[in-house]
Amino acid sequence: MARIEEILTLERIDDLIFRGPAVESTLTRTFGGQVAGQALVAAVNTVSDERPVHSLHGYFLRPGDSREPTVFLVDRLRDGRSFSARQVRGVQRGETIFSMQASFHVSGDTGPDHSDQMRAVPDPEELGEEGLLRPRGSRALLDEWGDWDIRVVPQDRYEPNKYAASQQVVWFRSQRRLPDDPKFHQCTLAYMSDMTLLHSSLVPHPDTKVQMASLDHAIWFLRPFRADDWLLYDQTSPSAHGGRAMTQGRIFNRAGDLVAEVTQEGLVRTLDEGR
């Protein structure tokens, strides 16, 4: 399987045009996190280093073909005194498969500082066989994520939120040391953030067979982090209805700092018998 460094290395065709590589995959459709991560790489490469990304909002419009490269077209929407904005379209065979807007904020601004606390959970090293990831019906996903250490915290190992309809808690990280560039870790987290999140909607429905696909995806980058250090992905699914599920995730570093927030809506459509 391709390493994340290969996945996130784009060819610059022109000032605002990039090509993402076709990545060897066991999946027929391109993994959504790959498209989001590559789109963010394209946007980041059109903004100065002094303005790191602080948010992105993307829509998965068509399934991508994992055998095909993706061309990313960037529009410069704004370059103000403190913020920059970019729009990116991921295109295959002349059709847009992914659309994203990203916002960048100048480093060094100051203001009030607070964040939620991380819930008390076992350390990832404490989770043995019980923490192994077993995405339902998704052997291909396990192969796809072979470079990542993903450990699901059993529900009886933490205090649940009694007001949450569905919840799941996951430790994850790259198994290999990654480059030190903070922008690379942000783009890597864009890739990682699509891992396991939509599956949190199925926790109350363990025997339901569904077709799953990401529909839209938003990330807010709140504090510095490394994707090769342990991160806790605290996930909830406040609603599932009409074949769609809303999911949310808060990402903490091991010190308990809230480093990112993710929201995703996905297709969770009941499969007809025999499909």
11-43 pLDDT, tens digit each: 999 999 999 999 877 777 889 999 999 999 999
**What residues act catalytically?**
194, 214, 264
Q: How far apart are CA 55 and CA 260, in angstroms?
A: 9
What architecture does CATH give domain 4-106+127-270?
Answer: Beta Barrel (2.40)
Burial letters 82-119, b for 16+ CB under 10 A, else e: eebbbbbbbbbeeeebbbbbbbbbeeeeeeeeeeeebb
**Residue 210 β-bridge partners:** 270
Q: How far apart are CA 152 and CA 150, in angstroms?
A: 7
203-255 pLDDT, tens digit each: 999 889 999 999 999 999 999 999 999 999 999 999 999 999 999 999 999 99
Map out the domains of the chain as residue ranges: 4-106+127-270
100-141 pLDDT, tens digit each: 999 999 999 999 999 999 999 999 999 976 556 555 545 556
CB atoms within 10 A of CB 249: 24
Exposed/middle/buried for 241, CB within 10 Å: 0-12, 13-18, 19+? exposed
The pLDDT assigned to 130 comes to 57
pTM to 2 decimal places:
0.93
Matching residue, tokens 């500082």: 113
